[in-house]
């Protein structure tokens, strides 16, 4: 484990995770006016389809936005395959399309190239980034700053939850909402952050694990993907994220009575749809940990219960918090430095 005279291993990531309640409050206090302006422009343009472009952690935020857009706005939405444009030179007709690029840095060449292509093909383009004036912002007609502030640890934490909240508020504003469903999130996030001891206890289960399965359905599925990414990039523990439906279509065969499984099960349609999967996992004797509603946690081997009464569509903003902490605690327990995973850079310049 490498150290510097002034910074202990994991100190930067820990500090940035702790900033998340304040970041969420900043988005609500300072970000809403710009979000409403962008939402009004989207309403005027009346797109018939939404395309989301992102990589890595931001890709999971975009996946969350896909659920929001299809459920709350009734618009079809999809995630782009950037290589269709950057490698194959495809130029689809993007008339009446809203193209949203989600990126922490806004600097990856493939994100910029795809945004430029979408704009030239007729799309209304929107950049959602943490760097005002980034290349993606400059390539887009509209832009939103997620207001997370500089993020120095390589694993993205506060930028992810800031992206989620910004995207939620945007979709809510487009449908005519006032953002009130999200009003209590900063306080709830702070209360979850105070329960670190519970996460430390859970982390003991995974210190010597050889693999980990993470599953969910509905709005929780992007959380499963992001949790798996955080575990892999910090602790190097192989973590497989599956939709609960996909898990039953084959991968369930690798689960046995020594297999650790984390399920994200919120109150609402997604958690209800996951219940048959939880039953099958219990039948297999899996070491099942549930993060989500108290009712679902009660039926698991262990878990982390979120406060009751959280709307399902904003629950992912809170559900990821104990899972970020879990990735951190497992990494530190393994003698690694979560601030600087090997072979990674903060800005990944794919083409």
Instruction: Provide the 8-state DSSP code for 285.
Output: T
Distance CA 33, CA 171 (A): 14
Number of residues written out for the chain: 351
Mean pLDDT of the chain: 93
Question: In whole angstroms, what is the distance from residue 134 CA to residue 155 CA?
Answer: 20
Give me the mean pLDDT over the 83-99 stretch: 92
pLDDT at position 351 is 60
Q: What residue has token string 């497989």?
A: 240
Q: Inform me whether the pLDDT recorded for 69 exceeds 60.
A: yes
Write the Ramachandran bin of 293: left for phi over 0, alpha for psi from -120 to 50, otherwise beta.
beta
Give me the pLDDT at residue 5, please: 54
Q: Percent of the chain having pLDDT more than 90?
A: 82
| Whether pLDDT at 3 is above 50 | no
Tokens, residue 201: 């206890």
Kindly state the average pLDDT of the residues 23-52.
98
Is the separation of the CB atoms in 242 and 251 below 8 Å? yes
**How many C-beta neighbours within 10 Å does residue 176 have?**
8
Does residue 2 carry a pLDDT above 90?
A: no
Q: Where residue 318 falls among pLDDT bands split at 50, 70, 90?
A: very high
pLDDT above 60 (res 345): no
Across residues 277-283, what is the average pLDDT? 90
- pLDDT per position as a tens digit, 244-256: 998 888 888 778 7
| pTM for this prediction | 0.94
Contact 256, 286 (CB under 8 A): yes
CA pair distance 126, 113, nearest whole angstrom: 14
């Amino acid at each position: 484990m490498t150290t510097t005279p002034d910074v202990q291993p994991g100190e930067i990531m820990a500090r940035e995770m702790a900033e998340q309640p304040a970041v969420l409050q900043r988005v609500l206090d300072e970000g809403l006016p710009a979000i409403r302006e962008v939402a009004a422009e989207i309403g005027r343009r009346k797109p018939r389809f939404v395309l989301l472009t992102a990589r890595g952690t931001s890709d999971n935020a975009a996946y969350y936005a896909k659920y929001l857009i299809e459920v709350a706005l009734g618009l079809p939405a999809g995630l782009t395959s950037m290589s269709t444009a950057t490698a194959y030179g495809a130029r689809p007709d993007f008339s009446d399309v809203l193209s949203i690029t989600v990126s922490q840095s806004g600097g990856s060449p493939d994100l910029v190239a795809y945004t430029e292509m979408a704009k030239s093909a007729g799309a209304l383009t929107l950049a959602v980034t943490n760097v005002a004036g980034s290349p993606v912002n400059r390539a887009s007609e509209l832009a939103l700053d997620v207001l997370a502030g500089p993020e120095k640890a390589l694993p993205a934490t506060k930028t992810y939850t800031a992206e989620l909240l910004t995207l939620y508020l945007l979709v809510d504003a487009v449908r005519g909402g006032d953002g009130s469903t999200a009003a209590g999130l900063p306080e709830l996030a702070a209360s979850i952050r105070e329960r670190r001891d519970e996460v430390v206890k859970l982390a003991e289960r995974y210190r010597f694990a050889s693999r980990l399965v993470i599953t969910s359905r509905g709005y929780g599925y992007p959380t499963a993907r992001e949790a798996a990414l955080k575990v892999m990039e910090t602790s190097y523990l192989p973590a497989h994220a599956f939709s609960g439906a996909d898990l039953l279509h084959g991968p369930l065969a690798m689960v046995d009575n020594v297999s650790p499984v984390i399920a994200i099960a919120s109150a609402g349609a997604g958690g209800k749809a996951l219940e048959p999967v939880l039953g099958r996992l219990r039948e297999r004797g899996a070491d099942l940990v549930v993060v989500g509603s108290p009712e679902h946690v009660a039926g698991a081997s262990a878990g982390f219960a979120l406060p009751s009464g959280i709307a399902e569509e904003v629950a992912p903003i809170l559900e990821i918090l104990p899972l970020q902490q879990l990735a951190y605690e497992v990494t530190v327990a393994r003698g690694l430095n979560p601030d600087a995973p090997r072979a990674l850079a903060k800005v990944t310049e794919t083409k």
